Amino acid sequence: MLNEAAESALLVSAVNSWGEPTPDLKIKAGYVPRIAAAAESLIEAGLIDVYEEPAGPGESVLLFRDEARAAVAAHNSWWS
């Protein structure tokens, strides 16, 4: 997870690189709870930052620690 956080800006990239390669979203969805728990631990330790993508033109917004934990805990955050 730390490697993905360092190399990628998208949570979906972490899901796609976790486990065996597969196009099956149901299998990938099964990885989300473990990846989210890892991300939450890294957020707590101050090792990663989480940004929210803008809905339109503009820059990403850095989330506060509580917001970041909520974002990675939300299953839908991992697919957009």
Average pLDDT, integer, range 48-77: 88
Q: What is the pLDDT of residues 35-56, one digit of tens each?
A: 889 889 989 999 888 888 877 7
Q: What is the pLDDT of residues 6-23, one digit of tens each?
A: 676 677 777 777 777 777
Q: Provide the domain limits for residue 72.
A: 2-78
Q: Judge contact between 35 and 54, C-beta under 8 A.
A: no
Q: Judge contact between 64 and 75, C-beta under 8 A.
A: no
Domain count, the chain: 1
Q: Which amino acid type is present at position 35?
A: I
Q: What is the reported pTM?
A: 0.76
